[in-house]
């Protein structure tokens, strides 16, 4: 370098961890402030709604940590440290330029940053919420007042894109006149019953609600309800993190799909036999014992290849169904953090050994809280198995934007007629839930029938 020119410290920022991740929680620093680090060394752990991820050093030098505390929520691309000379203090040289701009950190971390003023604010009092650029863009496109949206980001003080989507999915229909009247008088639309077409709230509904809201003259005030003995709350579980995502997505799925459930009882005797033989002959060579999830996963993937209209999703604009070129099979997994759905890509092209090996790696990372962003996205169809809990049949909720989901029950010996004799056979109940808006009953039934054929004759998979 020319004399007098020095390299500036490298800024260490929270990387983008998937298209839907807008913010992370700082878990803990893996090295001390002022320590010497090398490029590629993990220096920080951050947590998203789904998993914990390491952040690696992006330069060689001495790490100088910014004014952020463990447990603090920050947007992605926030500069959280610098890497430079030993005596060079933390200082941001330039603002983030990619994706959402990261705000400069507060000088005193104990004090929250001043609220961001929304468009239309008078400035007389601080705006109620922070909001991300993507949330503001979507709200502008959909004409949503962000002050009506419940925030979940930034420890419940920042509106992010998924909050606006959740609001839109639950917002009741209302005529323009009714919506304006409700806003004028402070009436929440979700508390009103609509009498218009398709349940839309009308001007008459607003007027009726206003009349009911005004108490008669001299009416006594209503005393707050007393909590009956024994009804005291023993624990409060916030709807945040994975549980918050499940709350949002399951509610959206139930309220926006026309769900139909098809069930069929399958003779799984030969499937049980195949699994037992594989357990005896392949477990040592493969390094794991093949399970029913592996077998049913491979069977379902093959059926999806044959019936591509089930390997589909609703297009983002809601105007078309997209048949997908790759069978990316989601396998629901119960974890301490909640229900996660790792995805096995191109499952129809994998043999049982490759499928089972990849599935176990995904499950291990998911249950350890270290699933990678790509582990949990891109699914085209989901399987959920409750058979290990003695559940026979159930109606799972469709994992949007997919068009269907397969529920797997327990395998149980039952006395049934078989080849003109009464005998004990292993029986399995399968439940296929599909969105009737996007598929009809007969095509969905043919798909489920094909899965049944493979379960009852697993050797067909060799063809």
Residue 218 sits at φ, ψ, to 5 deg, of 80, 5
Q: Over range 109-132, report the average pLDDT.
A: 45
Place of tokens 């890509």: 345
- Helix count (H) and strand count (E) of the chain? 10, 20
**85-119 residue pLDDT tens:** 888 888 765 444 333 434 433 333 333 444 444 44
DSSP, collapsed to helix, strand or coil, labels residue 384 as strand
pLDDT score, position 25: 85
Half-sphere exposure for 401 (CA within 13 Å, toward CB)? 15
Q: Over range 53-73, report the average pLDDT.
A: 87
Is the omega angle on the peptide bond into residue 401 within 30 degrees of 0, that is, cis? yes
First to last CA, the chain: 67
Q: Over range 251-270, report the average pLDDT.
A: 92
Q: How far is CA 11 from the centre of its chain?
A: 30
- Which burial class, exposed, middle or buried, applies to 410 when counting CB atoms under 10 A from its CB (0-12, 13-18, 19+)? middle
Q: Over range 167-195, report the average pLDDT.
A: 68
| Residue 26: pLDDT over 70 | yes
| Residue 177: pLDDT over 90 | no
| Residue 20: pLDDT over 90 | no
Distance CA 76, CA 165 (A): 20
DSSP, collapsed to helix, strand or coil, labels residue 329 as strand
DSSP, collapsed to helix, strand or coil, labels residue 292 as helix
Q: Which residues pair with 110 in a beta bridge?
A: none
- Average pLDDT of the chain? 81
**Which H helix or E strand runs over 361?**
helix 352-367
Greater pLDDT, 250 or 238: 250
- Please give the model's pTM, rounded to 2 decimal places: 0.60
pLDDT score, position 350: 95
CA proximity to 311, closest of 334, 339, 345: 345
The first and second tokens of residue 140, run together, are 């502008």
| Residue 443: pLDDT over 90 | yes
Q: Over range 362-366, report the average pLDDT.
A: 93
DSSP, collapsed to helix, strand or coil, labels residue 135 as helix
Neighbours of 42 (CB within 10 A): 13
């Amino acid at each position: 370098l020319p004399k007098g020119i020095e390299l500036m410290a490298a800024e260490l920022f929270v990387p983008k961890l998937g298209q839907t991740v807008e913010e992370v929680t700082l878990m803990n620093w893996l090295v001390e402030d002022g320590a010497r680090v090398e490029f590629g060394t993990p220096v920080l752990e951050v947590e998203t709604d789904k998993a914990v991820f390491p952040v690696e050093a992006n330069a060689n030098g001495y790490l100088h940590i910014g004014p952020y505390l463990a447990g603090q929520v920050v947007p992605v691309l926030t500069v959280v440290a610098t890497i430079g000379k030993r005596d060079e203090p933390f200082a941001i040289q330039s603002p983030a330029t990619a994706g959402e701009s990261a705000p400069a950190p507060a000088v005193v971390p104990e004090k929250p940053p001043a609220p961001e003023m929304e468009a239309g604010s008078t400035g007389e009092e601080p705006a109620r919420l922070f909001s991300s650029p993507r949330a503001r863009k979507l709200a502008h496109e959909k004409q949503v007042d962000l002050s009506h949206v419940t925030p979940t980001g930034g420890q419940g003080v920042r509106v992010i894109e998924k909050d606006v989507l959740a609001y839109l999915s639950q917002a009741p229909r209302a005529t323009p006149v009714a919506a304006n009247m409700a806003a004028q008088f402070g009436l929440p639309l979700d508390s009103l019953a609509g009498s218009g077409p398709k349940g839309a709230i009308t001007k008459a509904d607003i007027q009726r609600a206003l009349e009911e809201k005004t108490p008669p003259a001299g009416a006594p005030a209503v005393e707050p309800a007393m909590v009956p003995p024994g009804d005291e709350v023993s624990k409060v579980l916030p709807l945040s993190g994975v549980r918050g995502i499940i709350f949002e997505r399951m509610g959206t799925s139930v309220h926006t799909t026309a769900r139909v459930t098809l069930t069929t009882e399958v003779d799984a005797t030969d499937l049980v036999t195949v699994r037992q033989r594989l357990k005896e002959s392949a477990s040592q060579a493969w390094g794991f014992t093949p399970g029913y999830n592996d077998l049913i996963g491979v069977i379902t993937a093959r059926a999806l290849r044959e019936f591509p209209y089930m390997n589909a999703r609703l297009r983002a604009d809601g105007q078309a169904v997209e048949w997908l070129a790759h069978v990316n099979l989601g396998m629901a997994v119960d974890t301490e953090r909640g229900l996660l759905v790792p995805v096995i890509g191109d499952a129809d092209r994998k043999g049982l050994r490759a499928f089972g090996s990849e599935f176990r790696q995904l499950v291990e990372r998911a249950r350890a809280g270290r699933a990678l962003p790509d582990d949990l996205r891109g699914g085209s169809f989901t399987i959920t198995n409750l058979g290990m809990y003695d559940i026979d049949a159930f109606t799972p909720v469709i994992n949007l934007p997919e068009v269907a989901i397969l529920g797997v029950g327990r395998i149980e010996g039952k006395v049934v007629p078989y080849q003109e004799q009464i005998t004990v056979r292993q029986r399995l109940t399968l439940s296929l839930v599909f969105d009737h808006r996007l598929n009809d009953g007969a095509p969905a039934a043919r798909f489920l029938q094909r899965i049944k054929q493979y379960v009852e004759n697993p050797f067909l998979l060799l063809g």
